[in-house]
């Protein structure tokens, strides 16, 4: 049974997120991945899919800002960062972050990507996007994989050697999706962050160093 909002607010991880200024505990999932795989290395142009409530965008902005300073003297440097978030739900503004309320699978979304990033390739794509669960584990998993396949198409916007992070549900179709990612990335790893619900079938796939 899903936890009530009151129960959720009493959780230590939720309280920790609020103390550190994050909108949700999901920030720690992304930070867990970063600690393990350093996906934000030299990431200046970042796209976040399924952004509500915005905690991943907050983390992305932190790394975008720090990367400007960190890589100032190195060969791969931009003097600015660009971060875009998208969700079908309303998302409160974040300063210096472009937020769209639209369907990420629509053709219009690609037009928005091209416009905001001026046709340049991205350094990192993040996706915590999820279907609305029905409670049927098998159909939900199939629907989530279908969404993930649509999201995987958006990696055409990634630069060569760019990184990708996506939430998947474990189940019958997981292995096929994993193999599709292996075709596009030199390294593919799976991780269930420490801050994830242990009973959840969600798992994150990390694609490192896009091949082409």
* 205: CB partners within 8 A, 6+ apart: 165, 166, 168, 177, 178, 181, 188, 189, 190
The yes-or-no answer on residue 167 being catalytic is yes
Q: For residue 87, how far is the Cα from the chain centroid?
A: 12
Measured from the Cβ of residue 196, the count of other Cβ atoms closer than 10 Å reads 18
Which of 167, 182, 192, 211 is an active site residue? 167
Backbone phi and psi for residue 203, each to the nearest 5 degrees, phi listed first: -150, 155
For the chain, count helices (H), then strands (E): 7, 7
* Residues known to be catalytic: 167
């Amino acid at each position: 049974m899903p936890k009530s909002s009151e129960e959720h607010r009493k959780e230590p991880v939720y309280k920790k997120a609020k103390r550190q200024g994050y909108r949700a505990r999901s920030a720690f999932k992304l930070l867990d991945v970063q600690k393990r795989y350093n996906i934000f290395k030299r990431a200046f142009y970042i796209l976040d899919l399924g952004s509500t409530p915005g905690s991943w965008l907050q983390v992305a902005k932190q790394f975008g800002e720090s990367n400007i300073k960190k890589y100032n003297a190195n060969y791969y440097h931009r003097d600015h960062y660009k971060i875009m978030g998208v969700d079908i739900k309303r998302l409160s503004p974040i300063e210096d972050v472009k937020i769209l309320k639209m369907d990420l699978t629509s053709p219009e979304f690609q037009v928005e990507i091209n416009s905001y990033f001026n046709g340049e390739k991205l350094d990192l794509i993040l996706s915590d996007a999820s279907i609305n669960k029905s409670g049927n584990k098998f159909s939900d998993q199939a629907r989530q994989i279908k969404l993930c396949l649509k999201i995987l198409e958006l990696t055409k916007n990634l630069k060569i050697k760019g990184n990708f992070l996506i939430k998947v549900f474990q189940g019958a179709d997981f292995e096929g999706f994993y193999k599709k990612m292996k075709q596009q990335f030199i390294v593919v790893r799976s991780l269930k962050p420490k801050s994830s619900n242990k009973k959840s079938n969600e798992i994150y796939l990390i694609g490192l160093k896009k091949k082409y």
